[in-house]
Structure 1
Amino acid sequence: MARAGIGYFDHSGHFHKTPQEATLRDLADVLGRVGEREGLSAGIAQILLEKRYEIEKVFFEHDAMLAEQKTRHADEQDHHDLEERKNTVTVFSALG
């Protein structure tokens, strides 16, 4: 006798019994073919899913460092621009 159930679909539309299976398939698709023969994509996808929290933390910290670097670079540029203006004023004052 037939019965209703819950299924999960990956981005390609393939059915999976669990969310993990669907996510692993999507991750493997994103990775593409890694390695020889059957490839390593499925294994890497499994590790990515298992280590998700740690991986997200690394990317969060990476994004924070990039933002800090961008701010520091902008501050350095502002300081450089201010020094250039001071030098320009000094030259004009000496000429005048």
Structure 2
Amino acid sequence: MPDRLDHLRHRVEHAPSDPDALTQLGTLYLEQGRFEEANALLCLALEIDPGWHPASISLAICRNSTRDRDGAIEVLTAAAEEARRNEDADAFDLVRDTMESMTRND
């Protein structure tokens, strides 16, 4: 894991406006339970590219993990609207599936 963490930190350091690098590092932080750091990176990825659905999904999971269910649903709703606007059926389906998974786990 440290090698992956170092690699992703290096990517973000050299490409701070790459939403994929930010999302991957944010998702790794999420997996490690480092929710505050994950949230910051995933929000930044979405500022750079609001249509980057991997960041939206990870951010929603992050917020749901910290008991911010309303925030998670808000992120997914915005992502679904963006996917629909971009006519990206695959992204829409992933976002919808994530939302359904969260609402099923009540």
TM-score using structure 1 length: 0.25
Higher helix fraction: Structure 1 or Structure 2? 2
Higher strand fraction: Structure 1 or Structure 2? 1
Higher relative contact order (CA 8 A, sep 6+): 2
TM-score using structure 2 length: 0.23
